[in-house]
Homo-oligomer: A and B are copies of this chain.
Amino acid sequence: MNKQLLLEKRPEGLPDKDTWRLVTSPIPAPNEGEVLIQHHYISLDPAMRGWMRDRKSYVPPVEIGEVMRAGAIGKVIKSNNNPNFNEGDCIVSWGGVQEYEITNGENCYKVDDALAPMPKYLGTLGMPGMTAYFGILEVGKIKEGDIVLVSGAAGAVGSLVGQIAKLKGCTVIGIAGGKQKCDYLLNELGFDAAIDYKSEDLMEALHEKCPKGIDVYFDNVGGDILNAALTKLRLNARIVICGAISQYNNKNDVVGPSNYLSLLVNRATMQGMVVLDYANNYDKAAQEMGMWMMQGKLKSREDIYEGIENFYDTFLRLFSGEKMGKLILKVI
């Protein structure tokens, strides 16, 4: 049988448990040209909250009654003459929160799970890795000597952003919630400074740890932290708008950055990004990221929970911050 998590209603604010419904149905058989994939791991990402909203965005919303959209990695267990994928192949897909999927192979790609464990393909070598890579290099346009501030710094994207910036010769300050995460940034990832927004006064900490201001701010969180970062911009600074996790569950309007006129004073740029735009260059990026991983220059953690039944409690960790690194659900 196939367990599937269907979107049951559109949440207002933080999703409650009735937002999804777990259903069980027979494992479907692939039609001509299709494959049946058994998922091993499902990726849990902040962006999923956005996909539940019924509004125009960079992808269509998940419809009520549909399987909840999510990245997944698994193995082909049956191929019905699919030209690209064979039984046993390890596949990354948008397979959704379910144990099995049928696909014609569109938007899927094959990876080698002998080279890296499967969860890495949902993290450093997957969407979060690509987001970090293109976000900080192409949108942030970092160069040696830049001072780079990153929020959500212990998260799947932020932790890679900071490490890539260090590899490129930047000074890196990370903002994260809690001592454990800040210690991780400083002691394991080699950040130059860390700010615990849960226990420190943000403005004071920024003054102390970014005394010369910042050239690049990579924003995963929005809200007060974005607004505080705006006060520290240097001339021609760049802000990368990658996400706004502090705002995703707002019942009212998003809080806009009241300090945005710092962009004018400092001739600075705030630019939004969606990783899908860089799909043509994923290969090159993943090669470089993989090389850095092998050389021990790029570290990452995956925080893995088990069982599709535990989707809800696990998903909420994205917003409570009770996780360390890339959040993943193991479903086999």
Interface residues of A, Cβ cutoff 8 Å to B = 56-58, 222, 227, 241-244, 247, 253-274, 277
Contact = CB atoms under 8 A, between A and B. Distances in A.
A258 B269 contact: no
A271 B242 CA distance: 16
Contact of A256 (B58, B243, B258): B258
B258 A242 contact: no
A70 to B, nearest CB: 19
Nearest to A263: B272
A260 B265 contact: no
Main secondary structure of the interface of A (DSSP, over half): loop
A254 B273 CA distance: 25
Q: Which 8 A-B pairs have the closest CB atoms?
A: A256-B256, A264-B272, A263-B272, A256-B258, A256-B257, A253-B258, A269-B271, A270-B270
26 contacts: A57-B265, A58-B265, A241-B260, A242-B264, A243-B264, A244-B264, A247-B261, A254-B261, A255-B256, A256-B256, A256-B257, A256-B258, A256-B260, A260-B260, A260-B270, A261-B272, A263-B271, A263-B272, A264-B273, A264-B274, A265-B272, A268-B272, A269-B269, A269-B271, A269-B272, A270-B270
